[in-house]
């Protein structure tokens, strides 16, 4: 019944279908899945992040940033920090790198966020800061490689 249709299992199924459909490009099918997710769980971080992805694709960076911010408040992640940064750059906000620096302060081993921040500094012409970030990324990458080697043994 109605309760089952609104259950978390249905949201997960919709998210699994929506992800590849959205990644494939502009498609009414992917947008339709996300719209159904919005009706079932409008405050779910997964729903909010996918709404941010749609807004990004539609070249609405301020709206995307609002969705990503709301998703991040509910379920912080490195991916959302990067999405918030990219939307902030596109929207022309002051200090678009703030989500990355805040995230990395709490999660210094996040390789993707580290590299994204390095790219920000490089694009801004701050090569010394970019090099520091890339070096931190290399260090994090080496630590990750050691952990993977240990877990494979």
Read out DSSP for 49-107? Answer: HHHHHHHHHTT-HHHHHHHHHHHHHHS--HHHHHHHHHHHHHHT-SSTTHHHHHHHHH-
Across the range 101-126, mean pLDDT stands at 94
Across the range 96-112, mean pLDDT stands at 94
pLDDT band at 148 (very low <50, low <70, confident <90, very high): confident
Q: Is pTM, for the whole model, over 0.85? A: no
Backbone angles phi, psi at 113, to 5 degrees: -65, -35
Across the range 6-23, mean pLDDT stands at 75
Q: Which helix (H) or strand (E) holds 149?
A: helix 127-152
Q: Is the pLDDT of residue 3 over 80?
A: no
State in Å, rounded, how far the first CA of the chain is from the last one.
Answer: 49
pLDDT tens column, 43-66: 999 999 999 999 999 999 999 999
Work out the mean pLDDT of the chain and round it to a whole number: 87
């Amino acid at each position: 019944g109605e309760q089952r249709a609104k259950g978390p299992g249905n949201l997960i199924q919709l998210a699994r279908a929506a992800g590849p459909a959205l990644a494939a490009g502009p498609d009414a099918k992917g947008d339709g899945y996300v719209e159904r997710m919005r009706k079932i769980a409008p405050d779910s971080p997964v729903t909010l992040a996918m709404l941010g992805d749609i807004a990004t694709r539609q070249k609405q960076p301020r709206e995307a940033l609002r969705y990503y911010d709301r998703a991040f408040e509910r379920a912080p992640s490195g991916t959302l920090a990067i999405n918030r940064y990219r939307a902030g750059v596109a929207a022309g906000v002051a200090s678009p790198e703030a989500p990355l620096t805040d995230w990395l302060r709490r999660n210094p081993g996040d390789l993707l966020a580290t590299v994204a921040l390095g790219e920000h500094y490089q694009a801004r012409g701050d090569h010394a800061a970019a090099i520091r970030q890339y070096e931190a990324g290399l260090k994090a990458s080496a630590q990750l490689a050691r952990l993977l080697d240990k877990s494979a043994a």
